[in-house]
Chain A
Amino acid sequence: MKKTEDETEPLPRDIEHAGWWEAVDRARRVAAENATDVDRGARFPKEAVDALRQDRLLAAAVPVRSGGRGMDLSELVRVAELLARGCGSAAMVWAMHQIQMACLVRHHPESPLLPRAVEEQWLIASVTSEVGTGGDLRSSAAGVASTAGSPGEEASLLKQGTTVSYGEHAQGYLITARREAEADRGNQVAVLVSREQVNLVRTGGWNTLGMRGTCSPSFDLDTSFEYDQILPAPFGDIAAHTMTPFSHVLWAGVWVGLATEAFQRAVALSRKRSRGGAVTAHPSLALAHTELMGARGRLTAAVSDIQPVLERGAEPTVSSGAELNALKVGISKSVGEVVRLSMEVCGMAGFSEDGPHSVARILRDVHSAPLMIGNTRLLATNSQLLLTLRGDR
């Protein structure tokens, strides 16, 4: 019987990660079974997220003592990769959610909503980009307004979010804003609000080339909340210590997973073609492998380099920030090349949207990589940051 794209083989097991392997592999299979439908319909990968929720994998980044799975960054990256083998959108939704979770557990463990978010396995969306500031994470137009008679109790916020991934499917929102309306655009806070605290109005559509299941249109959010829902640390610190490193590394995990899947499809087809006699290997297969190994090595090194910041509280330096930016730019380019080469190997079978050797959806999905925090912006930033390098790296 001809195998379709939806049918998936079990992946080789990581022995050292036995504690969560089965659960992740279950979610990966569910994601793979629905990947084509999610992509075609540009619909939320509900089945995969439900599977992740059922196995408490939405609390992967939450410490065990707080009811989570207590995964460290290298484990989270591995999970992102594995999920992306099944469905890029499902993996990206999971990865983005873990970034918000990491910000919360690391910077506001006393958050009044966190126990509920863990217990009920919330999916938390990020609302950072905004009309007027675009994709600049470190700048906000909307500001927190005090609404109560006595200052410091209740607050409100009205924000026009431009790209709110899975906004309609989230149970919580981590929103950035100016500390108060008159504050400088860079003087930001982040606040976690629940779905029932938000009046959510969809203002745009989501019909994109790839990553269609992330369902990331624009929304207006009108929310009221208690002041203690605001993360106490300035958002700039949260971004430098957690959000930026987690984003770059977990997104890279998703992209490497997508590239690996494309490459494995090319290997599978090459093997099939070589059955029954002469081995027929396309040179692009080896080139794809070379690129993929480079991306993997880069990602592993980045996870290792960022450990002192994440685990020992070391201060991120200008050079470590520049290296994270370089990681994002480098991997987002490499994975595109891996998938393109894999399609060359697969030929028409890869170009087709159907069948076990299709690379089409994956190719469309990885085209998002250079755009998520645009490479152009990161390169422009790095060109300035590099002026401070002292020559020891």
Chain B
Amino acid sequence: MQEQIRAVMKEFSKLSGVAGDISEDADLWEAGMDSITSVQLLLRLEERFQTELPDSVLTRETFRSIGSLTEALSAQVDQKGSRAS
């Protein structure tokens, strides 16, 4: 999932420079993320993973790092999977 997230990040000018190399724990807000980019990234990630994150998860912490994004998306994808099975 992380590689897919990195690939989506590369589409955004504020993040394209760091998307490939930044560590999964590094702070994306310090690396160029801003609120508008976070919204656009969210919409693309939701499309990519065919899921929708709930309002309560849409915080700065969720967008803090590739690791935190992976966690939030995985939880949602897993939940969807378990509902489907």
Contact = CB atoms under 8 A, between A and B. Distances in A.
Question: Do A and B bind?
Answer: yes
Interface of A: 138-139, 179, 183-184, 186-187, 234, 236-237, 240, 315-319, 321, 381, 384-385, 387-390, 392-393
Contact of B55 (A236, A237, A240, A392): A392
A387 B40 CA distance: 9
B58 interface: yes
B75 interface: no
Contacts of A186: 29-30, 32-34
Contacts of A183: 30
Contacts, number: 63
Interface in B25-39: 27, 29-36, 38-39
Given A179-B30, A234-B29, A381 B58 contact: no
Contacts of B42: 388
Contacts of B30: 179, 183-184, 186-187, 234
Contacts of B40: 384
A234 B52 CA distance: 28
Contacts of A389: 55
Interface of B: 27, 29-36, 38-40, 42-43, 52, 54-61
Given A186-B30, A234-B30, A392-B55, 8 more contacts: A138-B34, A184-B32, A186-B33, A240-B60, A317-B56, A384-B40, A385-B39, A388-B58
A316 B29 contact: no
A179 B30 CA distance: 9
Contact of A236 (B36, B39, B54, B60): B60
A184 to B, nearest CB: 5
B36 A384 contact: yes
Nearest to B31: A184
A390 B29 CA distance: 24
Contact of B29 (A187, A318, A393): A187
Contact of B39 (A138, A237, A315, A387): A387
Contact of B59 (A187, A236, A316): A316
Among B43, B58, B61, residue most surrounded by chain A Cβ atoms (within 10 Å)? B58
A36 B31 CA distance: 49
Contact of A234 (B27, B36, B54, B59): B27
A240 B40 CA distance: 19
A107 to B, nearest CB: 14
Contacts of B56: 317
A384 B39 contact: yes
A321 B32 CA distance: 19
Given A388-B43, A390-B52, A319 B58 contact: yes
B36 to A, nearest CB: 5
A317 B56 CA distance: 6
B60 A237 contact: yes
Across the A-B interface, give the 10 residue pairs with the lowest CB-CB distance, nearest first. Answer: A315-B59, A318-B58, A187-B30, A184-B32, A236-B29, A319-B55, A317-B58, A390-B55, A186-B34, A384-B39
